A and B are shown apart, each in its own frame.
Chain A
């Protein structure tokens, strides 16, 4: 791929730097390669025609042909697609990525295909598409199940159900005991907290009583008489009560 470089190298502002740029040398090189390839093929085609044979392209490493198909058949999904994975999360989206589907942006992102989707239905449809399967090395065919496979699966599911039932039964008594312990602890803690609070309140009340007695006697009385003399009694409303 071409390196992202500023279009205007001397552009001091840089406000157009998000635009896509192209590496001319790289593409010139690619074009030369392709032309050489085509010339070679033309020559082989011509030679085959002269010899009166049918031209068949060679399986060459240079030619982009898969030598063997190692793609796997599609299997049923093991888990649910996690559509709410990014729910209530803040993500940083690259600038200028809101246009097409290519590249990571806001919404559902497919790592394998480098595509972004703005709704769940589109995303799931993409996961089922040939394009995605090809990118992840799968073919869009499913193996047909035989009777043995069905029997095996059913046995496994039955076993799983039995195990789950057993686990649940075992858990119940244990969980009840655990719950009881937790509740007992919580009760004691609540009691302790209440006691501490009560004690604190009592102490505060005592303190406040002794303080107010001192204030009333000396400074506070002076201040109120002075204020009355000056024509105001205090802050707040003048409303008669």
Chain B
């Protein structure tokens, strides 16, 4: 892997000759995003001004400033979130860096960004293994759509990523369901995060009852 990168996506989207850059799912990473939204992003002011010349470290500055997730808003303008997703597809950060983003506790929008990228770029079994632990994160997220703002949660967003075909106005790469992967012995059956809660739910009810009497 080369030690330098381009400040923008111009070279990676050059259609003259064969593409010989890094690939994801054996294709140009930037093509994982549909042409229309990709071009809207590249024409947007955020991409030209804020997302220009970023690398995996300086991308954090922008990710920390994110206020909402989403694909397009208002008059089909791309959100900063989706611009940064395209930027990450261009940067193609290493696995360790992505895990660093994902495991950070302080910035929830950074986590959402990393989760979205992982869903786009990684093989199915790993996506399930990496993202499922995040279902324990119940923090609120702001989702901006064409119609306005909506409230969602990190775990809800992760669930959308694992089960839906379109999230944030992007068609996600096809992925076998969890059940299929379990049948192929690529995944262990999932341990529910609330399984141990159910077991000792009786005790909790008892405790709550006592509190109520006081």
A154-B100 contact, Cβ under 8 Å, with A143-B4, A144-B5, A161-B106: yes
Q: B55 to nearest A CB, angstroms?
A: 4
A124-B100 contact, Cβ under 8 Å, with A142-B54, A157-B60, A157-B61: no
Contact residue among B3, B5, B48 (Cβ-Cβ distance under 8 Å from A124): B48
Hey, which chain B residues are within 8 Å of A154, CB to CB? 60, 100, 104
B210 at the interface (CB under 8 A from A): no
Contact residue among A142, A147, A151, A161 (Cβ-Cβ distance under 8 Å from B53): A142
B175 at the interface (CB under 8 A from A): no
> What's the count of A-B pairs with C-beta under 8 Å?
91
A80 at the interface (CB under 8 A from B): yes
CA distance A115 to B45 in the complex (A): 20
A81-B7 contact, Cβ under 8 Å, with A76-B54, A142-B54: no
CA distance A145 to B1 in the complex (A): 12
B64 at the interface (CB under 8 A from A): yes
Contact residue among A80, A81, A125, A141 (Cβ-Cβ distance under 8 Å from B5): A141
Interface residues on chain A, size class? 20 to 34
B132 at the interface (CB under 8 A from A): no
A153 close to B49 (CB less than 8 A): no
A124-B4 contact, Cβ under 8 Å, with A145-B57, A145-B58, A153-B60: no
CA distance A141 to B7 in the complex (A): 6
CA distance A29 to B37 in the complex (A): 56
A76 close to B58 (CB less than 8 A): yes
Q: A200 to nearest B CB, angstroms?
A: 54
Hey, which chain A residues are within 8 Å of B107, CB to CB? 157
CA distance A160 to B139 in the complex (A): 21
- B159-193 residues with Cβ-Cβ distance < 8 A to A are none
A144 close to B55 (CB less than 8 A): yes
Jot down 6 A-B pairs with beta carbons below 8 A, ordered by A.
A124-B49, A142-B5, A143-B3, A143-B55, A153-B61, A157-B61
Add 12 more A-B contacts to A75-B58, A141-B5, A150-B57 (CB < 8 A): A74-B53, A124-B45, A128-B7, A141-B4, A142-B4, A143-B3, A144-B4, A144-B5, A145-B58, A145-B97, A158-B104, A161-B106
